[in-house]
Amino acid sequence: MRQYIIRRVLLMIPTLLGASILIFFVFALTPGDFVDTNLKLTPQRAQELRVLYGLDKPIIERYFIWIGNVLRGDFGFSFKYQEPVSDVIKHYLWNSFLIAFVSSILTWCIAVAVGVFSAIKRYSWFDTLVTLGVFAAMSFPSFFIGLLLIKYFALDWKVFPVGGMTTTGSELAGFGHWVDVAKHMFLPVLVLTMLSVGTLTRYFRTNMLEVIRQDFVRTARAKGLKEKVVVYKHALRNALLPAITLLGFELPALFGGAIITEKIFNWPGIGRIHMEALAFRDYPLLMGLTMLLAILTVVGNLIADVLYGVADPRVRLK
Amino acid sequence: MKKKASGVFLSILSSALLLTACVEQAATPTETAQPATTNLQSVQDQVIQASDKSKQPEIAKKRTDTFIASISTPEGIFNPYFFHNGWDGNVTNVLFASLVSVDKEGKPVPQLAEKWDISDDQLTYTFHLKKGVTYRDGSPLTADDVAFTLTILHDKSYDGEIDISQAHIQGGQEYKEGKATSISGIKVIDPQTIQITTDKVSAKSLLLLGGPVLSKAYYGKSYKQGDLAYIRELHGKPLESGPYILDTFIPGQEVRFVANEKYFAGKPKVKNLIYKVTDRDTNYQLFQAGELDHAGFTANGETLEQLKALGFANIETYTASSYGFIDFNHQKPYFKDKKVRQAFIYGLNRQQILDAVYQGYAVVANIPSSPVSWAYTDDVNKYEYNPEKAKQLLDEAGWKVGADGIREKDGQKLKIRFLGSKSKLHDALIPIAKENFQELGISFEAEILDFNALIAKQQKGDYDLASFSTPQLLDPSEGVESFSSTYPDNNGYSNPKVDQLLKDSISTLDIEKRKPIYVELFKELNDDPPYIFLYNRKIMSAYSARITGLTQNTYTNFDASLNQIQIEK
């Protein structure tokens, strides 16, 4: 097992290097650069700025400068923010993580419970209603659902704030601050959960249905085990196994930011920052953020594979 | 994206910049956006007073010492010469006072300067500073600070977006190249007086020279010629001279200010100011809930009705100083003949496009200026939609309808490729233009690109028509300078009369003398069009009726009235 992990970690290095080359060149070769954004610059001044930002150099040289710095742990200065890339990311990343994390936990809990229950009570009225409900929730566009929730919860009933992360001008600290944040995150978390719970519910329902029909379940029943034990001990465990792969994909999603939902609720997340970095061709920031997601994806995959081995002896590798 | 000299923001462009999309084929004609009505009356600039102040939300009523305004995406570079985003410019406008500001027509007016003299040859500027002006920490703001500010802008490591070379200060280039250790054209006469000599008469110089003043003692402590890297550390910790000082910046959420007791024009009456980071899509909801006292909106009829219904909103509409246009690629042989270009303007139903998108909150432009500018004239050809006239002009230019319905000349077909960025304007423009041009026998293909890609393609000359909006325009020269055949970024447009008029228009600083030159220039540009001039847009904002003393205009937003604002209790 240890050997396997070491081998996988070593394999991550060329994977990430390859990803960095690909990402760097795709961005650098996209027409337009950071200086183009300002229409008012005279061509001379634009050229001076390109030299100052190092954009006049050949792309290959730019890549080696960048990767050289990264290997020394320096992701560079964001053009737009005039701050180290890591600082910019730090300001926004955890905000996105907060709502993504809470909504993920909610999504998984709801999905497992509802999925399993509707699999056991297949074709019952509960199953039909849940199917209808989760499909309805996931088919609404997020901006629509967001605006609708704002209208009812924030404007008509005044239960939750319209947007933001804290009350404007609030001087709260400590516990009070977190209560304030919790109030503000309710609606965005609700939207994110509604959007993602559908797929997962269906996924668990299908898995459960498949497992329940298998021989070992029948054997367990034949042994005279209680139905509860059969379902929750034998069937459920096996039905959850494939979900470990999904869990690995969750990792980058936790840090990716939800662009539209964050926008509607003025949530100070990383999604908009990433999108703007692309729009403005802020290469250092763009590379930093995209590489972060690449690393998380690779790490997420590794974790999933390792966990799979732990949970399921059948696929354990030597 | 921002106004250089005084950092006035441009909301239209910056929001357009955020809307990016990968290359995609534009809508087909079957998806034509049909406007509900044609020939809407264009809306006048106006102020609609609140109808019922008592309808204010409770949250707002309780807030008696804080004024909250919306802002889009401040990024934390709170230095007027280093930011890369117009919204940071909005913040620095509050934090820093300038020597020279502008009034509602865009004319220069003194702010930190008591007055200025310009020599008879219009090359030497002498600024007399107001007495007793200090920074937030009580240190005096003097001519040395002005000299320092202008000097670092010439530093070769200066990577901000101000182009000080356009002020043509004597000896500036030598300083930049490291051949001199000071700039010969800058002379501090006494703490209250500074004299700046320039090499060339330019209408842009005054506002460039008279920008915000950075404290030498604070920003210049570690300055060595050729190295400005240290200054980044100070972007988040400004030393202010404006009406408010920075309290806290919470990235992505708020910029908090408190009144500056040392502000030269008097301490503001409202203690706290907050710029709250919001999104245009939910500004209305936030304003309705009382979480904003002032907000900007997309100007259209629907928004106006919603705002009126609130009862507690004072609503203001005014015209932006920018203009929108479609650039002709003058390198292409078919655009050499001005009749062809005129035909494109006559043949495009610009009014219909604007009605569909802005519902009366934009007017058709026919010159490269805005009705708010002192240089504006509407005594020009209006190019009202006239497909027959367009066809006639194309016929005269030798473009005859071919067998397939597409016009051709010397074996070349009139096939036009249009570039635009993803926006509501282009959603309406493309299908309408396609239909209009088809009627004239012109094949019209459209491509939607992300903004920087659009610019790059345009600079390579890989297009026929490309749609843009100018940034905020202060001096009228900013809207026309690229038409000069000697301008470095000239797109191939060349007209000797325009060249001469452009030269004349900036060779004097006297506005009264410049006016008639601009009228003549605009007439010539209207007749021999470098662009399809498209629109002048309106800006709409609303503020709570409990706020009094607030005045705003297209150039300086409400900044000039910040120290006059009061909150009714």
Residue B214 has pLDDT above 80, yes or no: yes
When pLDDT is cut at 50, 70 and 90, the band that residue A248 belongs to is: confident
Distance (Å) from the alpha carbon of A51 to chain B's nearest alpha carbon = 10
Residue B90 domain-assigned (yes or no): no
Distance separating alpha carbons of residues B116 and B146, to the nearest angstrom: 14
Distance separating alpha carbons of residues B67 and A49, to the nearest angstrom: 38
Q: Out of A79, A162, A279, whose CB is closest to B84?
A: A79
**3-state DSSP assignment of residue B247:** strand
- pLDDT, residue A316, reads 63
**3-state DSSP assignment of residue B278:** coil
Distance separating alpha carbons of residues B242 and B560, to the nearest angstrom: 10
* Minimum CA–CA partner of A164 in chain B: B253
* Residue B557, C-beta contacts closer than 8 angstroms, at least 6 positions apart: B8, B9, B90, B93
First to last CA, chain B: 38
Nearest alpha carbon to residue B465 among B424, B412, B429: B429
Distance (Å) from the alpha carbon of A88 to chain B's nearest alpha carbon = 9
Q: A120: domain range? A: 86-311
User: Among A114-128, B63-77, B134-148, which is the least confidently predicted range?
Assistant: A114-128
B323 and B369 in contact (C-beta within 8 Å)?
yes
**3-state DSSP assignment of residue B35:** coil
Residue A154 has what DSSP assignment? I
> What string of H, E and C letters represents the secondary structure of B84-139?
CCHHHHHHHHHHCCECEEECCCCCEEECCEEEEEECCCCCEEEEEECCCCECCCCC
Residue B314 domain-assigned (yes or no): no
Residue A78 domain-assigned (yes or no): no
Task: Tell me the CA distances in angstroms from B155 to A79, B173, B176, B228, B492, one per residue in order.
Answer: 18, 9, 5, 8, 33
Residue A253 domain-assigned (yes or no): yes
CATH number, domain containing residue A230: 1.10.3720.10
Residue A55 domain-assigned (yes or no): no
Residues B165-197 pLDDT 10s:
999 999 999 999 999 999 999 999 999 999 999
Residue A10 has pLDDT above 60, yes or no: yes
Residues A183-241 pLDDT 10s:
999 999 999 999 999 889 989 999 999 998 889 888 988 988 888 888 888 888 888 88
* Residue A237, C-beta contacts closer than 8 angstroms, at least 6 positions apart: none
Distance separating alpha carbons of residues B117 and B107, to the nearest angstrom: 16
- pLDDT, residue B46, reads 84
Residues B462-485 pLDDT 10s:
999 999 999 888 889 989 988 999
Scan residues 178-217 of A and list those with Cβ closer than 8 Å to B: none
Interface contact flag, A276 B157, Cβ < 8 Å: no
The pair of structure tokens assigned to B520 is 């003549």
Judged by a CB distance cut-off of 8 A, whether residue B88 touches chain A is no
Residue B136 has pLDDT above 70, yes or no: yes
Which of A35, A37, A86 has the highest number of chain B CBs within 10 A, making it the mutation to test binding with B? A37
Nearest alpha carbon to residue A163 among B292, B297, B58, B294: B292
Cα dihedral sign, B149-B151-B152-B154: positive
Nearest alpha carbon to residue B437 among B326, B323, B324: B326
Which of A47, A142, A162, A275 has the highest number of chain B CBs within 10 A, making it the mutation to test binding with B? A162
- pLDDT, residue A192, reads 94
Chain A residues whose CB is inside 8 A of the B1 CB are 37-40
Average pLDDT of the residues in A146-164: 93
Query: B109: which strand partners?
Result: B101
Residue B13 has pLDDT above 80, yes or no: no
When pLDDT is cut at 50, 70 and 90, the band that residue B41 belongs to is: low
Strands B113-118 and B407-409: unpaired
The pair of structure tokens assigned to A122 is 């297949």
Domain count, chain B: 1
Distance separating alpha carbons of residues A250 and B130, to the nearest angstrom: 61
Residues A134-144 pLDDT 10s:
888 888 888 99
Residue B513 domain-assigned (yes or no): yes
Residue A318 domain-assigned (yes or no): no
Residue B505 domain-assigned (yes or no): yes
First to last CA, chain A: 6
Residue B27 has pLDDT above 60, yes or no: no
Q: Out of B4, B63, B457, whose CB is closest to A40?
A: B4
**Percent of chain A having pLDDT more than 70?**
99
Residue B35 has pLDDT above 50, yes or no: no
- pLDDT, residue B7, reads 33
**Percent of chain B having pLDDT more than 70?**
93
> What string of H, E and C letters represents the secondary structure of A3-48?
HHHHHHHHHHHHHHHHHHHHHHHHHHHCCCCHHHHCCCCCHHHHHH
- pLDDT, residue B28, reads 33
Residue B434 domain-assigned (yes or no): yes
Judged by a CB distance cut-off of 8 A, whether residue B285 touches chain A is yes
Residue B230 domain-assigned (yes or no): no
B189 and B119 in contact (C-beta within 8 Å)?
no
What is the value of pTM for the model shown?
A: 0.89
Distance of CA B529 to the CA centre of its chain: 22
Interface contact flag, B453 A30, Cβ < 8 Å: yes
B187 and B195 in contact (C-beta within 8 Å)?
yes
* Amino acid in the structure at residue A211: V
Q: B403: domain range? A: 324-539
- pLDDT, residue B24, reads 31
When pLDDT is cut at 50, 70 and 90, the band that residue B10 belongs to is: very low
Residues A263-291 pLDDT 10s:
999 999 999 999 999 999 999 999 999 99
Residue B101 has pLDDT above 80, yes or no: yes
Cβ neighbourhood burial of B472 (10 Å; 0-12, 13-18, 19+) = buried
**Helices then strands, each counted (H, E), chain B:** 16, 25
Residue B229 has pLDDT above 80, yes or no: yes
Domain count, chain A: 1
Residue B139 has pLDDT above 70, yes or no: yes
Cα dihedral sign, B427-B429-B430-B435: positive
Chain A residues whose CB is inside 8 A of the B278 CB are 163, 266
Judged by a CB distance cut-off of 8 A, whether residue B456 touches chain A is yes
When pLDDT is cut at 50, 70 and 90, the band that residue A14 belongs to is: very high
Across chain B, what does the average pLDDT equal? 89
Judged by a CB distance cut-off of 8 A, whether residue A80 touches chain B is yes
* Minimum CA–CA partner of B159 in chain A: A49
Residue A17 domain-assigned (yes or no): no
B277 and B98 in contact (C-beta within 8 Å)?
no
Residue A261 has pLDDT above 80, yes or no: yes
Average pLDDT of the residues in B141-159: 96
CATH number, domain containing residue B376: 3.10.105.10
Residues B484-519 pLDDT 10s:
998 877 878 999 999 999 999 988 888 999 999 999
Residues B385-429 pLDDT 10s:
999 999 999 999 999 998 889 999 988 999 999 999 999 999 999
Residue B39 has pLDDT above 80, yes or no: no
Chain B residues whose CB is inside 8 A of the A91 CB are 251-252
Nearest alpha carbon to residue B397 among B407, B388, B411: B407
Query: B257: which strand partners?
Result: B246, B273
Nearest alpha carbon to residue A85 among A282, A296, A257, A298: A282
- pLDDT, residue B45, reads 82
Judged by a CB distance cut-off of 8 A, whether residue A251 touches chain B is no
3-state helix, strand, coil in chain B (%, to 5): 30, 25, 45
